[in-house]
A = this chain, B = another copy of it.
Amino acid sequence: MTDEIAPIENFWAVVPAGGAGTRLWPLSRSTSPKFLRDLTGTGRSLLQGTYDRLAPLVDDRFMVVTGQAHRDAVADQLPEVDRDEIVAEPSARDSMAAIGLAAALLERRDPDAVMGSFAADHVITDPAAFGGSVRTAVAAARDGWLVTIGIEPTFPSSAFGYIHLGGDLGGHAGVHAVESFVEKPSVSVAEGYLATGRYRWNAGMFVVRPGVLLDLLAADDPAFAAALRAIAADPTTLEAAWPALPKVALDHAVAEPAAAAGRVVVVPAAFGWDDIGDFDSLAGLLEDADRAEVTVLGEAALVHAAQATGLVVPAGGKVVAVIGLDDVVVVDTPDALLVTTRARAQDVKAVVNALKDSGRGELT
């Protein structure tokens, strides 16, 4: 049983911390993105929650890859992490470059390393179950697999990609082959997926030996893999080499072709995962079971609600009165206010784009 709480040998957490969380505007901004915010009312940001969840598994083997603009904020929020382990990307070049750079750095530092890549802005309500799934994934990764963790769907979401399970992997209990990765489906297609019981949400969690990841990348794009390894060999070249790297998601660059080649396996799991993709998702995460009242993220004493349900965020520090609206979303901040409904939460992105177009980009 000690195994369950002990760090996993040679296991490195790699946390790409990027993305503006546009659909969570005005809470999330480009200057203060989602991962730096406490969206769960715990007093810890999503990044800190990610650290808290992974630290017991890795000791101090924790690496963050983030934008240069956020490096100081990340360091401030994670004083336990050595500043050298906070890698600053010169510019955002999508997840393959970010995670690939971490892989190239780790490949040189620890020949026995297994890395696990986990987004900085997701929430997991059962960290013990998460730790168990990671442990299973690391064991398979040591054998050379690219391992993903597939989340048991709780509803037919059209916002996530899915992983189609294949058969059991011999020698690793709780690990399946991956038939394929499938793009975000329509709700009706997703309903069909759920009915089969053979599909899991793709949460972008990958556990793999760094060299295996880079070799899989090299199979399709040898120059990309070589460029990452060259930067790792001489980090002073990072600034110069970075802009030439392809801007592509790890899923497309590696996971999908590797799955087609039979190199990917999946650990099906259920540990209360949420990517807090929008205010509907956030409201669902925070609401009480009975949903009889509004859910308040922040200082509840500021909110006066009557015959209302939904989510109220009084982040402007002032009184918010809400009367007679169901499933409403009210997010008050010092310089911007959003009023919408849970059903329209996805449309927040369009408002943010409109603000940019109208010359109010400083608010986004």
Chain A contacts to B: CB under 8 angstroms? 26, 304, 306-307, 316, 318-325, 328, 330, 332, 334-341, 343-344, 347-348, 350-351, 354-355, 358, 360, 363
Give 8 A-B contacts (CB < 8 Å), ordered by A residue.
A306-B347, A318-B334, A319-B355, A321-B339, A321-B348, A321-B351, A323-B340, A328-B339
**Distance A334 CA – B316 CA, assembled complex (angstroms):** 9
**Distance A343 CA – B307 CA, assembled complex (angstroms):** 13
For residue A320, which residues in chain B have a CB less than 8 angstroms away from its CB?
Answer: 336-337, 339
3 closest A-B pairs by CB: A324-B344, A323-B340, A319-B336
A355 CB to closest chain B CB (Å) equals 6
Q: Is the CB of A321 within 8 A of B304?
A: no
**From B304, B328, B337, B363, contact of A351 by CB (8 A):** B304
**Distance A317 CA – B343 CA, assembled complex (angstroms):** 28
Q: Is the CB of A335 within 8 A of B323?
A: no
Helix, strand, loop or mixed for chain A's interface? mixed
For residue A318, which residues in chain B have a CB less than 8 angstroms away from its CB?
Answer: 334-337
Q: Is the CB of A350 within 8 A of B319?
A: no
Residue of B nearest to A345 (CB): B323
Q: Is the CB of A321 within 8 A of B338?
A: yes
**Distance A235 CA – B69 CA, assembled complex (angstroms):** 70
For residue A350, which residues in chain B have a CB less than 8 angstroms away from its CB?
Answer: 306
Q: Is the CB of A337 within 8 A of B319?
A: yes
Q: Is the CB of B347 within 8 A of A324?
A: yes
**Distance A160 CA – B189 CA, assembled complex (angstroms):** 56
Residue of B nearest to A343 (CB): B324
A332 CB to closest chain B CB (Å) equals 5
A28 CB to closest chain B CB (Å) equals 14
**Distance A9 CA – B147 CA, assembled complex (angstroms):** 94
Q: Is the CB of B323 within 8 A of A344?
A: yes
Q: Is the CB of A339 within 8 A of B339?
A: yes
A316 CB to closest chain B CB (Å) equals 7
**From B337, B339, B354, contact of A316 by CB (8 A):** B337
For residue A306, which residues in chain B have a CB less than 8 angstroms away from its CB?
Answer: 347, 350-351, 354
A279 CB to closest chain B CB (Å) equals 10
A342 CB to closest chain B CB (Å) equals 10
**Distance A321 CA – B26 CA, assembled complex (angstroms):** 9
For residue A316, which residues in chain B have a CB less than 8 angstroms away from its CB?
Answer: 337
Q: Is the CB of B335 within 8 A of A322?
A: no
Residue of B nearest to A348 (CB): B323
Residue of B nearest to A342 (CB): B324
Known contacts A330-B339, A332-B337; is-contact A355 B322 (Cβ 8 Å): no
**Distance A321 CA – B332 CA, assembled complex (angstroms):** 10
Q: Which of A339, A344, A354 has the most C-beta atoms of chain B within 10 angstroms of its own C-beta? A: A339
Residue of B nearest to A303 (CB): B337
For residue A363, which residues in chain B have a CB less than 8 angstroms away from its CB?
Answer: 319
For residue A307, which residues in chain B have a CB less than 8 angstroms away from its CB?
Answer: 344
**Distance A307 CA – B340 CA, assembled complex (angstroms):** 10
Besides the known contacts A321-B351, A325-B340, 14 further A-B residue pairs in the complex with CB atoms under 8 A apart:
A306-B347, A306-B354, A316-B337, A318-B336, A319-B335, A321-B339, A322-B339, A323-B338, A323-B344, A323-B351, A324-B340, A324-B341, A325-B325, A325-B339
**Distance A339 CA – B313 CA, assembled complex (angstroms):** 13
For residue A304, which residues in chain B have a CB less than 8 angstroms away from its CB?
Answer: 351, 354-355, 358
For residue A354, which residues in chain B have a CB less than 8 angstroms away from its CB?
Answer: 304, 306
Residue of B nearest to A335 (CB): B318
**Distance A337 CA – B322 CA, assembled complex (angstroms):** 8
